[in-house]
Amino acid sequence: MTKRATIVGGGVIGGGWAARFLLMGWDVRVFDPDPEAERKIGEVLDNARRSLPGLSDVAMPAEGKLSFHETISEAVAGSDWIQESVPERLDLKRKVYQTLQEHCSPDAVIGSSTSGFKPSELQGCATRPAQIVVTHPFNPVYLLPLIELVTTEKNDAALIERAKDIITSLGMFPLHLKKEIDAHIADRFLEAVWREALWLIKDGIATTEEIDNAIRYGFGLRWGQMGLFETYRVAGGEAGMKHFIAQFGPCLEWPWTKLMDVPELTDELVDMIADQSDAQSGAYTIRELERIRDNNLVAMMRALKTQDWGAGALLRVQDKRMMPAEPDLLKPIVTVSRAVPLDWTDYNGHMNEARYVQAFGDGTDKFMEFVGCDEDYIANGGSYFTAETHIRYIDELNAGARIRVETICVLGEGKKMHLFHQMFEGDRLVATGEMMLIHVSLKTRRASNPAPHIEEKLAKVAAAHAALPRPEGIGRAIGVIGVKA
Amino acid sequence: MTKRATIVGGGVIGGGWAARFLLMGWDVRVFDPDPEAERKIGEVLDNARRSLPGLSDVAMPAEGKLSFHETISEAVAGSDWIQESVPERLDLKRKVYQTLQEHCSPDAVIGSSTSGFKPSELQGCATRPAQIVVTHPFNPVYLLPLIELVTTEKNDAALIERAKDIITSLGMFPLHLKKEIDAHIADRFLEAVWREALWLIKDGIATTEEIDNAIRYGFGLRWGQMGLFETYRVAGGEAGMKHFIAQFGPCLEWPWTKLMDVPELTDELVDMIADQSDAQSGAYTIRELERIRDNNLVAMMRALKTQDWGAGALLRVQDKRMMPAEPDLLKPIVTVSRAVPLDWTDYNGHMNEARYVQAFGDGTDKFMEFVGCDEDYIANGGSYFTAETHIRYIDELNAGARIRVETICVLGEGKKMHLFHQMFEGDRLVATGEMMLIHVSLKTRRASNPAPHIEEKLAKVAAAHAALPRPEGIGRAIGVIGVKA
């Protein structure tokens, strides 16, 4: 059954939550008295639709239904999750919870996007404090996986587990803080850095652009994949973490940072920052910057996915959860079903030629897995290598296109595996990929026969596929052009 | 003439500098009284050799010569750059500068890797203060581009320009701080975050792993590409930076961060951190973590390169600087000359099939550029699309292999461009790629004739190449296997 989420407060953060739920197949009901809410959420949703599906290497669920509601009571009816993202005023939030709890299911999770308040403060005057937790996300919510889940001893243990499961099922990472603290974890760091940055600008040491460059050309890249402590563990070298702290610790006593002081936000300082920021990024509109940011995040997160590390490791686990079941042998096997990611296009504005081969290669991997040449088998020293590939690029594909690869086994005998892939967007054939693979021993790196269970399964598939109609184009050489001319 | 750098102090940082200079073609002379220096630098150099060359999409210069010297006077002879990375003790550094300046060229740049001292402090007792600057790098120095270049009014303007040029030529980014301050910029942020992190651990709020996850699943990814201010500019939305500060500013007055206090580094606290770090990352040796970190950084920086943004934009500029000159038409044209990057290999331990097509595609791009279908031409609405590709995978390639693609124009007539690429590692043929391309109008997305200057150049190349010996394999269909069996 389709799950239902309610979004209370639909700005950039609420809109991001709405997009995340919708694209993961949930129905979403929004309550926001702002007459602009529908437009604002629509814009966030546009950004999410172009960036999130391509993070995944399998098909996302069908998008849920989005609706807007005039009253909280209507918006929360039948919801499994209620996400509150109203402005950071405790009295307002408490009032919202009172109304919410009058109408919502007592089993629903009520999560707050607050970056500053502790859950005990939010639970303060509530009818059912056990139901209210902090689930603090990071912008853009539809791409970044981190959720700070902060609970108190008043929260129901089963509800906490349910909250974790749901956050995980959305492709996010629940970082559970069992002890509450002002501003949770990440925003404490952000505040410390922000204060220091304001001083650097006020004192004329650096501009906004210089500060950003100091971050993104240096430690920002380290932090994107390992964070603080693992980075220093590596820096400490063989001597280890203890040695590193002993060496570095005393520096912390030096009065480097401005620390306690906050520079007064005078008009002059605010103008200085705004002017510097215009000089740095004013060539782009905010909408353009949003898309640049999303392109960068998708490319970096997909890069980490190739390394199975950090945010990329989370994406891999999520893909495994969404992987489809066993195929029907009497049809061509659907070996790829995915969206074209933002980083697969090139200067011609369409999917790059190498990415067709990557998608067909993913199809080959899936087919190999299906006949038993899986991770375990490869770890034990057998695999298939591609010996030859023939691609016909029949039509263009844009970022975001939902593609499907259908695979036929032309031959599966002895060392040879001959596959013919067809790539479709809907009913439109966009490319064919013919591939000849050879089974090899990973030890000798030479051709060898596959294990009997693979040979058997392969023979069975090849026999079944021999009965299928042969697609046009098998066995062709370059020269006969398939492109529309 | 080969340039020469001297490395004084060869730990992780000095070794990283040595590797950066060597791989960019400089000769490097090392002075370090540590009897282990040669081994230590060798290990850093191994890491650099496997990771840095693949960041570039063109060939790196031939590696320089590395030598170790017993005395400073011998080590600095004839050097254009002297990099000091001795321990952070002012008296020691000043003593080193005195000896250095007795023997080095007065025109050499003396850069200090210090993270804490201001250049005026380093210049204090020096014979020629004008020569001494801070050039603070970030670990791993052979991958991260940031150099904080801090100078004083005592520095010679021409020397500062020379320092900037040299840093840039090494593929790094000189962030020039014209006003000195303790700990420069980046380490002020790092100190603020580090203090806060120690409190979180000491107070039992979070473990080292939870803190790292709070960073790398959230704002760490944002900072890796945009830094602090551009990220908040985007978050502020259409209302702009001024509005964002007005909204967010008051929060800074809240006493979130621990700020002034430093937790005492008791044995208990040090043990707690070391134990948590072991639980988090103890499954890997430091050497393994170094390589994981480098793999991640290469993959992320190359991802940003596809987006022409942040550290990736720097890499593109660097590639343009290293691009080779015009080819000789009477030979096959070398269209690609590069190292196989760390993120191009797959589960079979060799270069992935799609990356061969990517490298051949890069060769096609280079060839197109050569015949006049360059960035400007494409921006004006004409380009070539690949219609068909036939790849023969003849032999395996490992990460780090230096590959070369030689391209022959088989046909260049009307709308058609038929190319045959051969990929070599040294003399070993590892793959062939035959590609049929069609000229298209990017407006109608349909086949069209190229501009006359392209048609003319293409005809000239095709005529010259018709005289070359035909490589085996042109015009073949799948079925005849080229792999060793």
pLDDT tens digits along B125-169: 899 999 999 999 999 999 999 999 999 999 999 999 999 999 999
Query: Among partner residues B187, B214, B292, which is closest to A175 by beta-carbon distance?
Result: B214
Q: Closest residue of A to B205, CA-based?
A: A179
Q: Could you tell me the residue ranges of all domains in chain A?
A: 4-177, 186-283, 325-466
Neighbouring-strand partners of residue A111? A83, A133
pLDDT of residue B254: 55
CATH of A186-283, one of 1.10.260.40, 1.10.760.10, 3.30.420.40, 1.10.1040.10: 1.10.1040.10
Hey, what are B195's tokens? 């203090």
Q: Can you tell me the distance from the alpha carbon of A291 to that of B299, in angstroms, rounded to the nearest whole number?
A: 21
- Alpha helices in B174-329, H assignment, sequence order: 186-202, 208-214, 220-223, 229-236, 240-248, 267-281, 286-306, 311-322
pLDDT of residue B261: 53
Asked if B138 reaches chain A (Cβ–Cβ under 8 Å), the answer is yes
Asked if B169 reaches chain A (Cβ–Cβ under 8 Å), the answer is no
Query: Among partner residues B253, B302, B354, which is closest to A262 by beta-carbon distance?
Result: B253
Minimal Cα–Cα distance from B399 to chain A, Å? 14
| Candidates A233, A385, A398, A439, partner chain B, best to mutate (most B CBs within 10 A) | A233
pLDDT of residue B280: 87
Find out whether B12 is annotated in a ligand binding site. Answer: yes
pLDDT of residue A279: 87
Q: What is the mean pLDDT of residues B33-58?
A: 94
Tell me if B217 and A145 make a contact (CB, 8 A cut-off).
Answer: yes
What residues of chain B lie within 8 A of the CB of A248, using their CB? Answer: 194
Asked if A238 reaches chain B (Cβ–Cβ under 8 Å), the answer is yes
Which residues have CB under 8 Å from A287's CB, separation 6+?
A: A43
pLDDT of residue B251: 59
Tell me if B256 and A187 make a contact (CB, 8 A cut-off).
Answer: yes
| Candidates A173, A271, A353, partner chain B, best to mutate (most B CBs within 10 A) | A353
Tell me if B300 and A296 make a contact (CB, 8 A cut-off).
Answer: no
Q: Helix, strand, coil % (nearest 5) of chain B?
A: 45, 20, 35
- Closest by CA to A257, choosing from B309, B184, B299, B210, is B184
Mean pLDDT taken over chain B: 90
Burial of A94 (0-12, 13-18, 19+ CB in 10 A): middle
Q: What is the mean pLDDT of residues B398-402?
A: 93
Chain B, residues 13-52, CB within 8 A of chain A, namely none
Q: Can you tell me the distance from the alpha carbon of B293 to that of A251, in angstroms, rounded to the nearest whole number?
A: 25
pLDDT of residue A258: 45
Q: What is the mean pLDDT of each run of 10 residues along chain A (485 residues)?
A: 93 95 98 94 95 92 96 96 94 95 97 94 94 97 98 96 97 95 90 86 92 96 93 78 70 52 70 84 88 94 95 93 80 93 90 96 94 94 94 94 95 94 96 96 95 95 92 73 34
Q: Dihedral through CA B94, CA B100, CA B102, CA B108, nearest 10? A: -120
Q: What is the mean pLDDT of residues B57-65?
A: 93
CATH architecture of B4-177: 3-Layer(aba) Sandwich (3.40)
* A-B Cβ pairs (cutoff 8 Å, strict): 517
Tell me if A191 and B138 make a contact (CB, 8 A cut-off).
Answer: no
Q: Can you tell me the distance from the alpha carbon of B437 to that of A485, in angstroms, rounded to the nearest whole number?
A: 12
pLDDT of residue A484: 34
| Count of beta carbons in the 10 Å neighbourhood of residue A180 | 17
pLDDT of residue A483: 35
Q: What interface predicted TM-score (ipTM) does this complex get?
A: 0.90
CATH 3.40.50.300 corresponds to the domain A325-466: no
Q: Can you tell me the distance from the alpha carbon of B104 to that of A183, in angstroms, rounded to the nearest whole number?
A: 53
pTM: 0.90
Q: What number of residues does chain B have?
A: 485
Bigger pLDDT: B270 vs B193: B193
Tell me if B485 and A438 make a contact (CB, 8 A cut-off).
Answer: yes
Secondary structure (DSSP) of A64-107:
--EEEESSHHHHHTT-SEEEE---S-HHHHHHHHHHHHHHS-TT
Chain A, residues 57-116, CB within 8 A of chain B, namely 88, 116
Query: Among partner residues B228, B386, B446, which is closest to A215 by beta-carbon distance?
Result: B228
Secondary structure (DSSP) of B72-124:
HHHHHTT-SEEEE---S-HHHHHHHHHHHHHHS-TTSEEEE--SS--HHHHHT
- Residue B463 is which amino acid? A
Chain B, residues 252-311, CB within 8 A of chain A, namely 252-257, 259-260, 262, 265, 270-271, 273-274, 276-278, 280-281, 286, 289-290, 292-293, 295-297, 299-304, 306-307, 309-311
| Count of beta carbons in the 10 Å neighbourhood of residue B251 | 15
Minimal Cα–Cα distance from A478 to chain B, Å? 6
pLDDT tens for B162-195 read 999 999 999 999 999 989 998 899 998 988 888 8
Residue B253 has pLDDT above 80, yes or no: no
Hey, what are B217's tokens? 């699943």
Query: Among partner residues A223, A276, A393, which is closest to B215 by beta-carbon distance?
Result: A223
Which residue shows structure tokens 């079903």? Answer: A337
Q: Closest residue of A to B195, CA-based?
A: A252
Q: Closest residue of B to A344, CA-based?
A: B306
Q: Is the bond into B140 cis (omega within 30 degrees of 0)? A: yes
pLDDT of residue A212: 95
